[in-house]
Amino acid sequence: MRLEGKTAVIMGAGQSPGEGLGNGRATALLFAREGARVLCVDRDLASATETAEMIGGEGGDAATFEADVTREAQVAAAVEQCRTRWGRLDILHNNVGVSVAGGDAGVTEITEEAFDRVMSVNLRGTVMACKHAIPVMREQRSGAIVSISSVAAVESYPWVAYKASKMGMVAFTKQIAIQNAEYGIRANVILPGLMDTPMAVDTRARAWNRSREEVAAERDARIPLGGKMGTAWDVAYAALYLASDEAGFVTGVALPVDGGTGCRIG
């Protein structure tokens, strides 16, 4: 019960179609198992509801809210829903992201529309969620913000918008960490490596018209630790630590969860 008595808003608590669990759903389930009351937010309400029902089936406390992170008013309403329902907001988890599905490409092929789409979802969505969560946390004089960036921020990566947005999340996290430390608010960011999730594997398989097995095998071969991609649970347990009081003296950190991929850099 590492999050007993706490409330959490999970932005991106649903998941893309495909096999297994996504990072957002796994984190929502784990937070609830550890005692948190969880507001499952997603633009796909049916998927968020499925996550909440899984939590309820395990005896946890969860509610749902439909919101598109590119619409500030909807993000603000989600934060307010948590505060109204449970009286406080202890944890904000920013887990929404897009790359291939948003039309991302190399610098000589990227379109203005695709660049703006990826940046608005990945970076602006995180900024707007923090904009509305931080005043609630400041009033409480406590809170934890955990955002999901990517090891793509620091390693060689072929597409321009995703990399730029994910590095922007790292810089933004450090900024809000120092600016809100006096209020007892912590902000940290996770850099997942190659993960076996529906968004990472199934989305690419569909976009490239290839089998899931082929895409997964290629990604597995790139992992130093055990030759196998990580899972959503690896990301979820990192998020649990950073959201919990065990990380009470940890803020402004960019934590790789990448099976050693980052060790190849430099």
Summarised one tens digit per residue, pLDDT across range 184-196 is 999 999 999 999 9
Q: Are strands 91-94 and 61-66 parallel, antiparallel or unpaired?
A: unpaired
Judged against a pLDDT cut of 70, whether residue 266 lies above it is answered with no
User: For the segment 240-259, what is each residue's pLDDT rounded down to a tens digit?
Assistant: 999 999 999 999 999 999 99
Predicted confidence band of residue 16 (pLDDT cuts 50, 70, 90): confident
**What mean pLDDT comes out for the span 179-184?**
98
Please report, rounded to a whole number, the percentage of residues in the chain having pLDDT higher than 90: 87
Instruction: Determine which of 81-90, 178-187, 197-206, 242-251 has the lowest per-residue pLDDT on average.
Output: 197-206
What single-letter DSSP state applies at residue 195? B
Residue 189: φ, ψ to 5°: -135, 140
Residue 162 annotated to the active site: yes
pLDDT at 68 over 70: yes
What digits encode the pLDDT tens for the residues 113-172? 999 999 999 999 999 999 999 999 999 999 999 999 999 999 989 999 999 999 999 999
Is this structure's pTM higher than 0.85? yes
CATH homologous superfamily, domain 7-196+231-254? NAD(P)-binding Rossmann-like Domain (3.40.50.720)
pLDDT, position 172: 98
Task: Sheet with 61-66: list strands edge to edge.
Answer: 61-66, 37-42, 7-11, 91-94, 143-148, 185-192, 254-257
Predicted confidence (pLDDT) at residue 174 exceeds the cutoff of 80: yes
Going from N- to C-terminal start, the domains of the chain cover 7-196+231-254
Residue 56: band (very low, low, confident or very high) from pLDDT cuts 50, 70, 90: very high
Residues in Cβ contact with 69 at an 8 Å cutoff, skipping those fewer than 6 apart:
11, 12, 43, 75, 96, 121, 124, 125, 126, 128, 129
Catalytic residue among 162, 183, 237, 241: 162
